[in-house]
Amino acid sequence: MSIIVECNCGEVSVHFATTKPLFRLVCCCADCNAILQWAASKRGHCFYPAHQGIDKLYLENSLRVVKGEENLRWVKITSDTVCLRSVTTCCYSSLFVENLSILGAKI
């Protein structure tokens, strides 16, 4: 059994070997909201409401890209942000975040 994460258009599919999250949280930080607003604008959509809680699952680094690796990019919204986020180039879905301030190098 695994957790499967796919982008909005289905061009990217990633499997995590684990089914048990390390933890789950609702994040309201400026970085999460800013990257999701940016991604929505790239798709020609509004991100509404402008500031909202983002539901996040933190998993062990056990991912395997099954489809669409060429469509994954890692981006930082600003140079001093603590979050490195994976965004797809096919539909600008935000799939993963690496936040070194929480647990170290985890996706």
Question: What is the tens place of the pLDDT at every residue in 20-60?
Answer: 888 888 888 888 888 888 888 888 887 767 677 888 888 88
51-93 confidence digits (pLDDT tens): 778 888 888 878 899 999 999 998 888 888 878 889 999 999 9
In angstroms, the CA 56 to CA 35 distance is 14
For position 8, what pLDDT does the model report? 92
Say if residues 48 and 31 touch (Cβ distance below 8 Å): no
pLDDT of residue 107 exceeding 70, the answer is: no
Is residue 38 within 8 A of residue 81, CB to CB? The reply is no
> What DSSP letter does each residue of 24-62 carry, written as one string?
EEEE--HHHHHHHHHHHHHHT---SSSS--EEEEE--S-
**Is the model's pLDDT at 101 over the cut of 90?**
no
Q: What is the pTM of this model?
A: 0.78
pLDDT at 71: 97
